[in-house]
């Protein structure tokens, strides 16, 4: 049993000051001759036609999914899918985690139906059924995700792989019809992207999400932040939101981005139950994530953060002025901004990186 309430620890603080006051454009990833990939907007059709079936473990599982074993209160699903950038022709693995209740108890050895909305434009297409993993016999790690039970790690057959563009995947638990979505962006190497931290960078303060979660509201954002990132996305840059939040906050992160009108993109949290411990853990997580991206030929042109750990992780972004830090304190290398409003007119003038 995982005690999620115990994870309401304060995120590490840190901060500092350094260089740069102008946004430069990294031409290495800009190729205006390229056609834009399919639009990022991805409205979901109605739920796929499914039929609930009996649980594989028809005695233990019904209790797990209806009653939290610690509080005794009704359980609610807290499933989460993991978004991915994938290169054309590469292996495509659908990754998701299934859990219930405030204790985040994993759903192990139960069946999940998998559907895809190709190009975010079609109806649902069935890809098959997977069985959630057991912690006692874990699957090998995939895309940096370690199997600790309750996971789906489903490789799409080669003949049915997804083509270039953005795709929505929905996974539906056979036993109760609960579900979660994820997104796969199939993009070639050198596709222009930007990366942004979330807490403190996009939310109104570093730890506001935990307070907002307790009272059931959406965290506030900074003035101009959605408009600035939308301006970049409109030029053809594909967003990635890279946050050291624990994995069980994926759904809340999607809700925050949607509620404030941020451009849709790939979301990656840590896979740890409590998130990283200390500044070093956050920097290591983000550095490793960006190294995996680089292995796919994807180097962010812009990076947004608010702490020295973000500066450390963004060391590979080629143009120093494109490492942009909101009201940062402490040691950093990049550009400090006081408000996102100053970026909006600059980003609207940035050259497009693809043709409509």
**63 band by pLDDT with thresholds 50, 70 and 90:** confident
Task: State how far the Cα of 101 lies from the Cα of 74, in Å rounded to an integer.
Answer: 8
Q: Residue 231's closest CA among 84, 342, 108?
A: 342
Tokens found for residue 115: 């559907």
pLDDT in tens, 295-348: 999 999 999 999 999 999 999 999 999 999 999 999 999 999 999 999 999 999
Question: Of 65-74, 263-272, 295-304, 328-337, which range is least confident?
Answer: 65-74
State how far the Cα of 332 lies from the Cα of 341, in Å rounded to an integer.
21
Domain 4-36+189-348 matching CATH 3.40.50.1000: the answer reads yes
Closest-CA residue to 19 (of 232, 316, 322): 322
Q: What is the pLDDT of residues 196-232, one digit of tens each?
A: 999 999 999 999 998 999 899 999 999 999 999 999 9
Asked if 109 and 136 count as a contact pair (C-beta separation under 8 A), the reply is no
pTM reported for the whole predicted model: 0.89
**All structural domains of the chain with their residue ranges:** 4-36+189-348, 60-186
Q: Residue 279: enclosing H or E segment and its boundaries?
A: helix 278-294
- In this structure, what token pair is assigned to residue 15? 């901060």
Using DSSP, how many helices (H) and how many strands (E) does the chain show? 7, 16
DSSP letter at 152 equals: E
Which CATH fold would you assign to the domain 60-186? Answer: Immunoglobulin-like (2.60.40)
Dist CA 293 CA 187 (whole Å): 11
């Amino acid at each position: 049993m995982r005690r999620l309430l115990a994870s309401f620890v304060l995120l590490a603080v840190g901060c500092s000051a350094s260089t740069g006051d102008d946004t430069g454009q990294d031409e290495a990833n800009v190729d205006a001759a390229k056609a834009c990939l399919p639009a990022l907007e991805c409205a979901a059709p109605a739920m796929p036609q499914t039929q609930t079936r009996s649980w594989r473990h028809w005695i233990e599982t019904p209790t797990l999914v209806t009653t939290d074993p610690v509080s005794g209160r009704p359980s609610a699903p807290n499933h989460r899918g993991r978004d991915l950038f994938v290169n054309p022709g590469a292996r495509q693995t659908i990754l998701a985690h299934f859990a219930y209740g405030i204790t985040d108890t994993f759903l192990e050895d139960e069946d999940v139906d998998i559907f895809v909305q190709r190009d975010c434009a079609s109806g649902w297409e069935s890809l098959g059924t997977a069985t959630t993993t057991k912690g006692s016999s874990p699957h090998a790690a995939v895309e940096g995700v370690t199997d600790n039970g309750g996971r789906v790690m489903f490789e799409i057959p080669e003949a049915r792989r997804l083509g270039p563009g953005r795709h929505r995947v929905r996974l539906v638990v056979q036993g109760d019809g609960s579900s979660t979505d994820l997104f796969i962006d199939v993009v070639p190497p050198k596709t222009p992207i930007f990366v942004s931290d979330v807490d403190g960078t996009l939310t109104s303060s570093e730890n506001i999400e935990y307070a907002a979660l307790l009272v059931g509201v959406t965290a506030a954002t900074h003035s101009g932040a959605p408009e600035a990132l939308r301006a970049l996305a409109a030029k053809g840059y594909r967003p990635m939101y890279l946050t050291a939040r624990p994995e069980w906050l994926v759904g809340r992160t999607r809700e925050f981005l949607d509620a404030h009108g941020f451009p849709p993109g790939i979301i990656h949290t840590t896979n740890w139950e409590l998130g990283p411990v200390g500044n070093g853990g956050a920097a290591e997580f983000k550095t490793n994530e960006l190294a995996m991206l680089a292995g796919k030929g994807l180097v962010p042109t812009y990076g947004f953060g608010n702490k020295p750990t973000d500066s450390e992780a963004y060391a590979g972004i080629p143009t120093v002025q494109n490492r942009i830090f909101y009201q940062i304190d402490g040691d950093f290398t990049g550009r400090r901004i006081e408000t996102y409003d100053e970026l909006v007119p600059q980003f609207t003038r940035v050259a497009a990186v693809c043709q409509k």
